[in-house]
Amino acid sequence: MVLSENLEKRRLSYNERAKLTSNKLAIRLFNLMEEKQSNLALANDITDTKKFLELTEKVADEIIVLKTHIDILEDFNMDIINKIEELANKHKFLIFEDRKFADIGNTVKLQYSSGIYKISKWAHIVNAHSLVGDGLIEGLKECIKDSEDSRGCLLLAQMSSSNNLIDKKYTLRTIEFAEKYQDFVIGFIGNGSNPKELKKLASLAKPNFLIFTPGINISDTGKLGQNYATPQKAIKSGSDIIIVGSGIYKSEDPLKSAKEYRKLGWKAYIKRTK
């Protein structure tokens, strides 16, 4: 049966999963995880630019993805992007701007490529709400036609926040969009805080798609509607990349915490492949 077949194939190693897709960015990410032996993404939600860069540099060797909310930085300028790119090249991680696009195709096209952030120039990965329909995906795709570096998008198939309005039908329709645009959509945001729900996504989504999961914390219970589970539970339930924010940046020793999340995530992945 297809559902369990998807789950079974998700137990393959990242290198083997890379062979199931022709999307260059997905292949790069699968192989990078194996090379760095990490499936950890840092959600760097620090608003002070200097501290944001310091944290990024400190944990750069532990992560394979840096997730940004570029619009929360207090004193943004393009030099910050140059510095992030330098760190990304030196320490080998990809940049994921968590922009959660949610508008008509023409508007997201402008939001992706223009304004002060010019996201399409530097973010390897962006994400988008499927709510709007696939015109949004077409709009985003138009911006990266001539891009030298590879670009990809994650669709929000689930969320980690309490009482969100995403139901199973929405998740299914989101997966259909991803299948239609496999040249650009590399995977999904899944709900890391709810293993049961996450496992549903992992069984429905083909194993060429990566599942990124926020809602990961080993010591907090969440606030303002956020929910958490452990890296082990998320990876066991089908997550490929754990997104950790405050668990690292609010820690007294962010490097130690990043190492710990990395170790937990990687060990759970190795266990899954056996």
The piece of 9-17, 102-110, 174-182, 239-247 that touches ligand S5P (CB under 6 A) is 239-247
d(CA 161, CA 214): 10
What 3-state class would DSSP assign to 66?
A: strand
Indicate the length of the chain as a whole number: 274
The interface with ligand S5P within residues 61-80 (CB under 6 A) comprises 69
Residue 187, interface with ligand S5P (CB under 6 A)?
Answer: no
Query: Which residue in the set 152, 187, 214, 254 belongs to the binding site for ligand S5P (CB under 6 A)?
Result: 214
In angstroms, give the least distance from the CB of 43 to ligand S5P: 4
Residue with Cβ nearer ligand S5P (25 or 155): 155
Nearer to ligand S5P, 43 or 55 (CB): 43
Is residue 100 a contact partner of residue 127, using CB atoms and an 8 Å limit? yes
Question: From the list 247, 260, 265, 272, which residue makes contact with ligand S5P (rule: CB under 6 A)?
Answer: 247
**Least distance between ligand S5P and beta carbon 98 (Å):** 5
> How many residues form the binding site for ligand S5P (CB under 6 A)?
17
13 binds ligand S5P (CB under 6 A): no
Instruction: Please state, in angstroms and rounded to a whole number, the distance separating the CA atoms of residues 60 and 82.
Output: 15
Q: Which of 213, 212, 220 is nearest to 246 (CA)?
A: 220
Residue 190 as a binder of ligand S5P (CB under 6 A): the answer is: no
Rounded-to-integer distance, Cα 36 and Cα 87, Å: 15
* 45 is a site residue for ligand S5P (CB under 6 A): yes
Alpha-helical (H) ranges within the chain are 2-9, 14-18, 24-36, 49-59, 78-91, 105-113, 119-122, 135-143, 168-180, 195-204, 231-236, 246-249, 254-273
Catalytic residue annotation: 100
